[in-house]
Amino acid sequence: MLTRHHLPVSVSFLSTDFPLWSVVETAGTLYQKDQERFHLLLMEPELGKWNQIQGLSAFPDKNSQSSLLSVPPRRRLLWLEISPYRVMVTMQGNGSSFSYRHYWESGVFGLSRFWLQDETLTSGQLCLRNYTRHLKFHLHPIPQSLRIDYELWSGNSQLGHYLLNVDIGD
């Protein structure tokens, strides 16, 4: 099984209906499961120097919300299972109160699940459907890029049209 560590990866997400756009650049580890199936593990990039963020609080009292800033946020793991036919993306929280899993397959309604957890460790789940208009996977000999064009749905209501691009560089 092929394993490549610390590949540069760029993940971009945008909405064609709403002013949503995000780009994350980080390092990833690529695992080859078989000839056309791969796992790509990404660690959420750090926010920069945490000490600089601490000074931005508008609450100087030690018992107020500024004391919450003394603990840096935990980085999360993003796990992509990719093939030319389907993609599954899972974000695991590592102590975070938010996780999700998306399943995309071209021409199919897949599921997008979101989990929220409060301070009492009670978990709630939100389940939406996504319709994959187009899934493009460029493989030569390892994945170079992935593009998913999809719609998000709740019942009979469309919640937008989105594009997810993953570029894997060598």
Percentages helix, strand, coil for the chain, rounded to the nearest 5? 5, 60, 35
List the structure tokens of 121.
Answer: 């460790």
pLDDT above 50 for 54: no
- Residues in Cβ contact with 35 at an 8 Å cutoff, skipping those fewer than 6 apart: none
Specify the pTM.
Answer: 0.77
Average pLDDT over residues 114-143: 84
pLDDT above 50 for 53: no
Whole-number pLDDT of residue 170: 67
DSSP single-letter state for residue 58: S
Q: Are 69 and 57 in contact (CB under 8 A)?
A: yes
User: Cα separation of 61 and 69, whole Å?
Assistant: 12
User: For residue 96, which of 110, 117, 111, 80 has the smallest C-alpha distance?
Assistant: 117
List the structure tokens of 21.
Answer: 């756009």
Q: What is the pLDDT of residues 65-116, one digit of tens each?
A: 444 445 555 667 889 999 999 999 998 765 666 789 999 999 999 999 988 8
Q: Are 14 and 150 in contact (CB under 8 A)?
A: no
Class of domain 3-45+72-168: mainly beta
**Residue in the structure block whose two tokens are 């899934």:** 135
